[in-house]
Amino acid sequence: MSRLSKKSEPYHPLDAIPVIPQEVEFGVDGSARVQVRRPLDPPDGWRARLAVWFRFKREVRINLDERGSSFWNLIDGRRPLKEIARKMRRQFGLNSGDSREVTVKFTQLLMRRGLIYLQLPDSVSGKKDRGVSRRIRKEEVPFDA
């Protein structure tokens, strides 16, 4: 069962809004592909000393392909996943099912690596005039819809 209260309306997973955390850095390479990176928390104890000694940086880094780059560029913190799926469908000539599948897979991939998180819109959470309501953890999102 979802962690949403019983008073809130049921939501469709594609109503969620992807948001990029502040600590995530991204850029575009020479072929217009997005490269995303997020530093990981530093290790503790003797591992921290070894990391400093060897100048080891712990980070998540991912290079996105053409579709992944387009998906990333559509994330603005206001646009829901269903709108992103619709734009992906138009841009790549996909059918409705394929665009939803691509959107869900990219969302899962980026969430697993901590590169995005999802928020519910106000209309689903019951809050008014406050922007996006609350952060959703990856364990709460039923992506089998």
CATH 2.60.40 fits 13-23+64-140, yes or no: no
Asked if residue 133 has pLDDT above 50, the reply is no
pLDDT in tens, 74-123: 999 999 999 999 999 999 999 999 999 999 999 999 999 999 999 988 75
Residue extents of the structural domains in the chain: 13-23+64-140
Q: Tell me the three-class secondary structure of the chain, residue by residue.
A: CCCCCCCCCCCCHHHCEEECCCCCEEEECCCCCEEEEEECCCCCHHHHHHHHHCCCCCEEEEECCHHHHHHHHHCCCCCCHHHHHHHHHHHHCCCHHHHHHHHHHHHHHHHHCCCCEEEECHHHHCCCCCCCCEEECHHHCCCCC
Q: Report if pTM > 0.75.
A: no
pLDDT in tens, 28-62: 888 889 999 888 776 677 777 777 777 667 778 88
